[in-house]
Amino acid sequence: MSRKITIHKYEGNTQYSVHVIDSYGKEHHLGYYSVFKMAEIEARAKEIWNNEVKPKEDLLGNAIKECIQSDIDRGVEPSLD
């Protein structure tokens, strides 16, 4: 995943919504700006990117997902009972 800054302005709105996406795909909302200062946004994005933390892997969730997919691949109706 790549790092990214996205700036959206919805039709009819007077403010811009600014989001930063880190290298793990987590989205951080920086806020709403009526006039945005790119230097300020870049500084806040760099701060987020410098303090990225790898998300913990959900081992149990992944194991359940693999079991369900295994059932689907074998043609068995998945059951969580």
pLDDT digits (tens, 9 = 90+) for 15-41: 999 999 999 989 999 999 888 788 999
Report the pLDDT value the prediction gives residue 66, as an integer from 0 to 100. Answer: 92
Average pLDDT, the chain: 89
Q: Is the per-residue pLDDT at 68 higher than 80?
A: yes
Q: pTM for this one?
A: 0.64
**Helical spans, DSSP H, in 1-81:** 38-50, 59-74
Region of residue 42 (left: phi > 0; alpha: psi -120 to 50; beta: else): alpha
Confidence of residue 1 (pLDDT cuts 50, 70, 90): low
Phi, psi for 53 (deg, rounded to 5) = -125, 130
Residues 8-18, mean pLDDT to the nearest whole number: 89
List the Cα angle 54/26/31 in 5-degree steps: 130
